[in-house]
A and B are shown apart, each in its own frame.
Chain A
């Protein structure tokens, strides 16, 4: 039911021409997605989706809409080849899913490899009460550290780009503020 709503909202986002409406719809999408994740008992993911999708990305999209032009250029040619590529890749991916183990069964390889070890020994080895936190911050500590570095670098890059742009525009207009 909720997934049907999600699909409807997604199609509306693609078809809508008013960028403002798209931003409102993407906020709606995030809340619906968070509710779906909630139904699946993934509370932490739902929280992240609501915070990032509905909170931060709405503000960021609005800021981007302010910085760029809101006019759309006419489509130069019908996009037949990209559509073909997308359909073929989609069909191939769906075909590939038939080789996967059935969804959610307990003896899939991913549940047999290291997960039992974590569940058995995480609390004694790391003294962290939550196994998910123990895996993320301790067993995969370097991995998480690398992710933090990537996000940090991306943030610095964006800030540098935007700062240069702001100064250049002010200099041209002679209106430094």
Chain B
């Protein structure tokens, strides 16, 4: 059963990578990049159970945190054109 799940995850990865490469707009790419991170989390988790080492779940959690940081940085940059954006500066 885990092997089937693994195959499904890899198939989803292929589809998402196609979207990252083809994606006409930036948002397609950002969303697809985020999905790759999510699928990597699932892949690591499934792999852990497939090999009988559920400790891999910790690594999957770390991936989740990193995925959030990367996506947030990209979106913030796209919105403001700057990473060190500060709302109070705008009001002043």
Give the interface of A toward B (CB within 8 A): 1-2, 5, 8-9, 12, 16, 20-21, 23-25, 27-28, 31-32, 34-35, 38-39, 43, 46-47, 50-51, 54-55, 58-59, 62-63, 65-66, 177
Main SS class of interface, B? helix
**Mask: chain B, 10-41; 1 = CB below 8 Å from A; 0 = not:** 10011001001101001001101100110010
Query: Distance in Å from the Cβ of B55 to the closest Cβ of chain A?
Result: 9
B5 at the interface (CB under 8 A from A): no
A32-B13, A58-B70 known, 5 other contacts, Cβ within 8 Å: A2-B10, A27-B74, A32-B36, A35-B47, A62-B77
Query: Distance in Å from the Cβ of B9 to the closest Cβ of chain A?
Result: 10
Give the interface of B toward A (CB within 8 A): 10, 13-14, 17, 20-21, 23, 26, 29-30, 32-33, 36-37, 40, 43-44, 47, 56, 59, 62-63, 66-67, 69-70, 73-74, 77-78, 81-83, 89
Q: Cβ of A1 and Cβ of B10 under 8 Å apart?
A: yes
Q: Cβ of B14 and Cβ of A59 under 8 Å apart?
A: no
Q: Cβ of B47 and Cβ of A20 under 8 Å apart?
A: no
Query: Distance in Å from the Cβ of B71 to the closest Cβ of chain A?
Result: 8
Q: Cβ of B70 and Cβ of A12 under 8 Å apart?
A: no
Query: Distance in Å from the Cβ of A11 to the closest Cβ of chain B?
Result: 9
Query: Distance in Å from the Cβ of B41 to the closest Cβ of chain A?
Result: 9
Q: Cβ of B74 and Cβ of A38 under 8 Å apart?
A: no
The 7 closest A-B pairs by CB, nearest first: A31-B40, A55-B66, A24-B29, A58-B70, A24-B33, A12-B21, A28-B36
Tell me the nearest residue of chain A to B55, going by C-beta: A43
Tell me the nearest residue of chain B to A12, going by C-beta: B21
Q: Cβ of A63 and Cβ of B83 under 8 Å apart?
A: yes
